[in-house]
Amino acid sequence: MGLGDNAFFWLNSWSSTAGMLTRREVDEAERRTGIPAAGGALPLLGHLPQVFKLGVDDFEKKWLRKKKSKLLLSWFGNSPMITVTDPEVLKHVLVKEFSNFHDRPRRMNPDINRYSENLADKMEKLAKSKEKVEIKRLYEGFTLDTISATAFGLDVDCINNPDGPFIKNMRSIFEKGIGVWRRIFFTLGNIFPTFIPVVRYFKMDYFDKDHLDFFIRHCQAMIEDRKTRVSQRKDFLQLMVDAELEDKSTTDPEVCNVPNKRLTNDEVVAQVFMLYLAGHETTANTLTFVSYELALNQEVQDRVIQEIQDQIGEVIHRLYREIQETVTIGNYTFPKGWTVVVSVFSIHRDPEYWPDPERFDPGRFENPKSTQNKFFYIPFGQGPRICLGMRLALLELKVSLVHVLKRVRLVPCEETQMSLKPVTHKGTLISVERPIQLGLQLRQNEH
């Protein structure tokens, strides 16, 4: 994951102080924590210039290697960060000492199954017409359809309407990101609090206002619809509506301290919007990269389809924790008020845990050595605060791929890149320079 992946976190967590970071402070932090610091920290900015240039993952990779360490100190502005890639330390951060490191339904299955079939139908039609496919566009439609149906009870049919306003606005949010100038202004506002009024004066939103307004209107319409009719669905939206604050006129600043406080309308809208953001692009990206690897590794694809036939038959870049109390783990000290970064990207690419980590090798997960430590592989985190959307995301991935691979074979085409270099310094998630294009072949022609 790159700079964009973590923009949500950075813009809310950089220090509001404007003190000068000095070499002495860096040395003192190294002595106090027992953790080596990345070089080149600048007053006020810390390591931000390096992060902007390299992307956060390459920045961490560079300095972890240079320092020959599994932990690293760095500063984003004046905020100290501790990056952790040691599985033994992670056991304490995510499980044993989790209370000192704060973060942050089955009836959905038919919806996922239905939209997986829609996806397979669409891909089968494309295979018959022998069209080359920008594969991510298909998966974007599928994930939006699935989230809309399972969480909100909506049928938006983005798979068959790839240029509709719903998917176009969502796609624009991720493709445009926050923009260079917005990023600079928000960064300055967080490092220099006196700059915040300037950001407000220019009415700079984190996302493009037109796209943001579209989704706010959309979310508000869904909420109002649920309020005006009785719904038997027990989905995410209904839980949010049921938890909405009854007294909408309250402006009491102490309301947050009331034990039985309920959600305000704005809070419900924000939760709905964030679920779309969190559940859409992540799953679409995963499906895209899986499809790419299967297309370039036909023997693996054959094994997958064989397993589908044998076992199923007919188808029925980062975690953050704020340290609440000073904690000592082994030889390391984690000071209160600092932030721990769990570098999932680095752990998943560490040759100590994963030999030849860039090679696509699903068989490595069958090796007991690779699975003996559950902290070697943590795409959804680990411990009591593991990602709440894990089961939904995995279900989407597996069911959709089963439907697709029973109907079509993924193959490379002339436009397919034979190697991919992840881009981690722009956008909101890991991406690639050029869209991934693949060919599709009907499986029925193989028999």
CA dist 236 and 271 (Å) reads 10
Inside any domain, residue 7: yes
CA distances from 7 to 300, 381, 446 (A): 36, 19, 47
Write down the pLDDT at residue 173: 74
Inside any domain, residue 165: no
For 56-97, the pLDDT digits (tens) are 888 888 999 999 999 999 998 778 999 999 999 998 888 888
Say if residues 215 and 156 touch (Cβ distance below 8 Å): no
Helices 165-176 & 135-152 angle (0-180, nearest 10): 110
- How is residue 247 annotated by DSSP? -
246-274 burial, b for 16+ CB within 10 Å, e for fewer? eeeeeeeeeeeeeeeeebebeebbebbbe
Q: Does 176 have pLDDT greater than 70?
A: no
Say if residues 101 and 253 touch (Cβ distance below 8 Å): no
The string of DSSP codes covering 62-126 is HHHHHHT-SEEEEEETTEEEEEE--HHHHHIIIIITGGGEE---GGGHHHHHHHHHHHHHHHHHH
| Residue 367's pLDDT band (cuts 50, 70, 90) | low
Gyration radius of the chain over CA positions: 23
Q: Do strands 332-334 and 327-329 pair parallel, antiparallel, or not at all (unpaired)?
A: antiparallel
3-state secondary structure 136-203: HHHHHHHHHHHHHHHHHCCCCCCCCCCCCHHHHHHHHHHHHCCCHHHHHHHHHHHHCHHHHHHHHHCC
Q: Does 249 have pLDDT greater than 60?
A: no
Write down the pLDDT at residue 251: 47
Q: Do strands 133-134 and 437-442 pair parallel, antiparallel, or not at all (unpaired)?
A: antiparallel
Q: Does 28 have pLDDT greater than 90?
A: yes
For 88-115, the pLDDT digits (tens) are 999 888 888 888 887 644 444 578 888 8
- Known binding-site residue numbers for heme: 387
Inside any domain, residue 358: yes
Inside any domain, residue 363: yes
Q: Which residue has the higher pLDDT, 435 or 232?
A: 435
For 293-348, the pLDDT digits (tens) are 999 999 999 888 888 776 654 444 567 788 889 999 999 999 998 988 888 888 88
CA atoms within 13 A on the CB side of 361: 14
- Known binding-site residue numbers: 387
| Residue 8's pLDDT band (cuts 50, 70, 90) | very low
Write down the pLDDT at residue 182: 64
For 181-230, the pLDDT digits (tens) are 666 666 666 666 676 777 677 766 666 777 778 888 888 888 888 888 77
Which residues neighbour 81 within 8 Å (Cβ) at sequence distance 6 or greater? 73, 74, 75, 338, 339, 340, 341
Inside any domain, residue 131: no
Write down the pLDDT at residue 157: 87
CA dist 307 and 294 (Å) reads 14
For 140-174, the pLDDT digits (tens) are 899 989 888 887 888 888 888 888 888 888 777 76
Q: Give the residue among 396, 307, 306, 310 at the shortest CA–CA distance from 114.
A: 396
For 374-427, the pLDDT digits (tens) are 888 888 888 877 776 788 788 888 888 999 998 999 999 988 888 887 766 554
Instruction: Tell me the residue range of the domain where 50 lies.
Output: 1-101+317-378
CA dist 232 and 242 (Å) reads 12
Inside any domain, residue 361: yes
Inside any domain, residue 18: yes
CA dist 253 and 291 (Å) reads 50
Inside any domain, residue 78: yes
Read off the amino acid at residue 271.
Answer: Q
Q: State the total domains in the chain.
A: 1
Write down the pLDDT at residue 30: 94
